[in-house]
A = this chain, B = another copy of it.
Amino acid sequence: MIGFLAALPSALALWPIPRTLTQGTSNTRADQFSISAEGKSSPVIQNAIGRYLQIISDESFVAPVDYKRGTVKTSGTLNSLVVSVKSTDETLDLNTDESYTLDIPVNGKASLKAQSPYGVVRGLETFSQLVTGNGYSKAILNTPVHIEDSPVYPHRGLSFDTSRNFYSVKSILRILDAMSYNKMNTFHWHVVDSHSWPIESKTYPALHQKGAYSSSMTYYYNDVKRIIKYAKDRGIRVIPEFDVPGHTYIVGQALPDIMSCTNKLPNWDHYAAEPPSGQLNIAKPESIEFTNNIVSEYVKLFPDNVFHLGGDEVNRNCWSEDPDVQKYLAAHPGEDVESLLVNFYAKVHDHLATTGKTAYTWEETLFHSKYVPDNSTILQVWIDQTSVQKAVAQGYRVVSSSYDSYYLDCGHGAWLPNWDGNSWCDPFKTWMHVYNYDVAANITDPAQKKLILGTEVALWSEQSDEHVIDARLWPRASAMAETAWSGKSDVSGRVRTTGEVASRLHEQRYRMVGRGIEAEPMQPLWCARNPGACNLP
């Protein structure tokens, strides 16, 4: 059994696996070839070509399973890879066409054809994974290779929290690199939360001046633009989240007058999901004005046509016990905390709509309040699979970050220092568990299925920062990336199992390490080299 599995050709070892792949039995030398665009080109294409020439030049990767392979004989030489696109439109959104076709002959000229520059980006990543070290040279094995590929879901993301702990720009760029190695296309930037406000605000400079951990732990406009540009070059959208009205303690450092229940101690747990407590005071028009000003500012800084408004985990006690809220409600019979919340959401969502952007919001905005967002709104669900079912049944587009499968911070135990307990979302989500999640489970109506935009793994940063982030994300995010790009099953409809994909994911992990991503090992190297030998009987 081992012998057979070990003999799987490396050319199969692509991550995520392409939709269709056919290959031959020759090997092609690939150490001196050009990559160039034929016909139309664009900055994204040119940058991608330059980037992958460098990546391929720098690496001489041999998969763990091939450690005894030795040098293979080549019967042809790759001279060039010629890239062509139908359109040079660099718009990056849910409608972006990421498909590509890659042809690599035994000898001569390979071709990569795509509909958009981002199809080129995806195809070049695939191409780079096909090039393997071969003694002092490089080769592409099992040529000719023909690949036709396109993603199953248009939204393949990472939800990333930069508030609880800070991440340098450099570390974020490294994350974007790794995302591109896995064909992920959405960086959902949960930029602010209660613990810090790390992004420059030109409207309210006190927000970052008093709310960032330090001036050097601040994303200035130029930093943000650099991140967005870097992401775009890799076909990655940057969707910012400004979470309101909860998770906003830090706003009170700049604007204390619009806050409720700021840093209640010791019983913060009565007012918030975690310390410090603090929510925008929804009885005050100034809170709505503040939020809308924030929206107005950041819709300009972030070019993506989707904008995340948060809306998760609001705490009613925070408001019902607030003296200002109580005074307001006493003066306005018929109103209550729920009506105030509906009013807040309506004003903020309506304002966002005037900017032409699509609202993205956590599921509670719909499910845990009486507000009914416009049907164009995208819901991000995290609680359980029934949330996905409910969302699409009500006609909303949905992205799932099911905590039980996709919260990559979980399983790390409690972080309240005087409590020797577990985390609410234990246990740790293994790559197998991530891989086994099916966002479309229990949804059969084709119209409802079409409302599933995709998935996002999430990294909340209570116990994470730039020093540990690589291993927290990789290769577990890669497991999601494959299911979102390639789907749960192959073209024949057979569901892929973790036992059979493990060998490819090992390869992807070691490839990422070679590219500077400190991804964690899934197993002893011995197991990576001997596929199947470390399976449960």
Chain A residues packing against B (C-beta within 8 Å): 1-2, 67, 163-166, 194-196, 213-214, 263, 265-269, 274-276, 411-420, 422, 426-430, 432-433, 436, 461-465, 467-468, 470-471, 497-499, 502, 513, 518-527, 530, 532-537
* Nearest CB in chain B: distance from A433 CB, A: 5
CB of B412 within 8 A of CB of A525, answer: no
Residue of B nearest to A505 (CB): B417
Q: Is the CB of A513 within 8 A of B467?
A: yes
A422 to chain B, nearest CB (A): 5
Contact A464 B520 (CB under 8 A): yes
Contact A427 B413 (CB under 8 A): yes
CA distance A433 to B418 in the complex (A): 10
Q: Does A468 contact B467, Cβ atoms closer than 8 Å? A: no
Known: A164-B524, A275-B527, A413-B429. 16 other contacts (CB 8 A): A1-B265, A67-B214, A195-B524, A213-B526, A268-B537, A269-B536, A275-B533, A411-B412, A416-B534, A416-B536, A417-B534, A418-B497, A419-B535, A463-B520, A463-B523, A465-B525
Closest 6 CB pairs of A and B: A418-B499, A413-B430, A417-B502, A164-B524, A195-B526, A468-B471
Q: What are 17 A-B interface contacts by the 8 Å CB criterion?
A: A1-B266, A67-B214, A163-B524, A164-B524, A196-B524, A213-B525, A263-B533, A275-B527, A275-B533, A276-B530, A413-B427, A416-B536, A417-B523, A418-B498, A420-B436, A463-B523, A464-B520
The verdict on A463 contacting B522 (CB below 8 Å), with A417-B502, A432-B414 known, is yes
Closest beta carbon of chain B to A285's beta carbon, Å? 29
Least Cβ–Cβ distance between A167 and chain B, in angstroms: 11
Which of the residues B418, B465, B502, B520 comes within 8 Å of A467, measured between beta carbons?
B520
| A151 and B468 alpha carbons, distance in the complex (Å) | 31
| Partner among B164, B265, B430, B533 whose Cβ is within 8 Å of the Cβ of A265 | B533
| Neighbouring B residues of A463 by C-beta, 8 Å | 520-523
Q: A275, A411, A461, A468 — which one has the most chain B CB atoms within 10 A of its CB?
A: A275
Shortest A210–chain B CB gap in Å is 12
- A409 to nearest B CB, angstroms? 11
Set of chain B residues within 8 Å of A1, measured between Cβ atoms:
265-266
A522-B467 in contact given A427-B427, A537-B267 (Cβ < 8 Å): no
Across-interface contacts of A461 in B (CB, < 8 A): 524
Q: How far is the CA of A134 from the CA of B449 in the complex (A)?
A: 60
Closest to A416 in B: B536
| A524 and B462 contacting across the interface, CB-CB below 8 Å | yes
Bound Cα distance A461, B520 (Å): 11
Contact status of A422 and B427, CB under 8 A, knowing A275-B534, A524-B461: yes
The smallest C-beta distance from A49 to any residue of chain B, in angstroms, reads 29
Is the CB–CB distance between B165 and A524 below 8 Å? yes
Say yes or no: B419 contacts A536, CB within 8 Å.
Answer: yes
CB distance from A461 to the nearest CB of B (A): 7
- A418's partner among B265, B275, B465, B535 (CB-CB below 8 A) is B535
Across-interface contacts of A467 in B (CB, < 8 A) = 470-471, 513, 518-521
* A427: chain B residues within 8 A (beta carbon): 411, 413, 422, 426-427
Q: Which residues of B contact A429 (CB under 8 A)?
A: 413
Contacts A265-B2, A266-B1 known; A413 to B433 CB distance under 8 Å? yes
Judge whether B417 and A498 touch: CB under 8 Å.
yes
Chain B residues within an 8 Å CB radius of A414: 430, 432
Residue of B whose beta carbon sits closest to that of A464: B521
Contacts of A420 in B (CB 8 A): 430, 432-433, 436, 498
Bound-state CA distance A65–B189 (Å) is 28
Chain B residues with CB below 8 A from A430, complex form? 412-415, 420
Most B Cβ at <10 Å: residue of A195, A274, A418, A519: A418
Q: How far is the CB of A101 from chain B (nearest CB, A)?
A: 31
